[in-house]
Amino acid sequence: MSRKPYPSDVTDAQWAVLAPLIPPARPGGRPRKHPMREVLNALFYVAREGCSWRALPHDFPPWRTAYNFFRDWQADGTWEALLECLRRQARRDAGRDPDPSAACIDSQSVKTAGGGEQVGTDGGKKVRGRKRHIVVDTLGVLLTVVVTAANVDDARAAQDLFAQMPGTDFPRLEVVQADSKYHNHELSAWLRSHRRRYRVQVVSRAEGVTGFVPLPKRWVVERTLAWLSKCRAILVRYDKHDFNYLGLVQLACSLFWYRRLHRLGAT
């Protein structure tokens, strides 16, 4: 690499892990012109710095090339494969089973610029835009994400989240910790009817406690949402398409956790 590095560039150690997960070129197609490591660096740059695709620095591959790879890898499940590999590596390094037995769920409303799909107003947060709903393991690694309008009830969106978490993918999962917004009879009935083995456990503050208090285990999902806010591409919802925004959230989580695993921090 002849150019000066950017803070979001992957290191040699990170690339050694990521390279086998990059899909090979399609047989019979045009040979790839640009190194896949530089394409991935371009995608991480967009997620971290929040520039528009057309404003991608010229020492990266052309913006259209980066955008096309981003869309293709979102469609074929590459970002999900990266996160799964990341989760398993992080849990092994922490001395835990690669498959989590517990998880945490929460949501975060973000403002929307330029309209687009599913726009609403979160009356409690006074935010007009969309809401990202996430489930993470007890280390804070993303398991799944759903994007809705900001006025969608969290317990209703949880059904869409849990629909993406079949028991075959998470065989050890027993409990999903949540706040009081998820204490919902309709959600409990949905879990029973769809034969989900895990249950929602509401974790609340002790009576009489006011102000912010980190709750045992459930605080990790708040930390992940705070990390996501450091990626400018998803701090405000600029992309009009939910499909693209979901990919950027997965990309942002991959960026922070690969850097964390290799002791580079997430500054």
Question: Taking a C-beta distance cutoff of 8 angstroms, is the pair 37, 10 a contact?
Answer: yes
| pLDDT confidence of residue 69 | 94
The chain-wide mean pLDDT, for the chain, equals 85
Q: pLDDT at residue 265 above 50?
A: no
| pLDDT confidence of residue 37 | 94
Centre a 10 Å sphere on the Cβ of residue 77 and count the other Cβ atoms it contains. 11
How does DSSP classify residue 196? -
H-only helix segments in 94-241? 154-163, 185-193, 219-228, 232-235
- Its pTM stands at 0.85
H-only helix segments in the chain? 12-18, 36-49, 63-75, 78-93, 154-163, 185-193, 219-228, 232-235, 242-261
| pLDDT confidence of residue 233 | 83
More confident residue, 163 or 27: 163
Q: pLDDT at residue 219 above 50?
A: yes
| pLDDT confidence of residue 100 | 92
Q: pLDDT at residue 267 above 50?
A: no
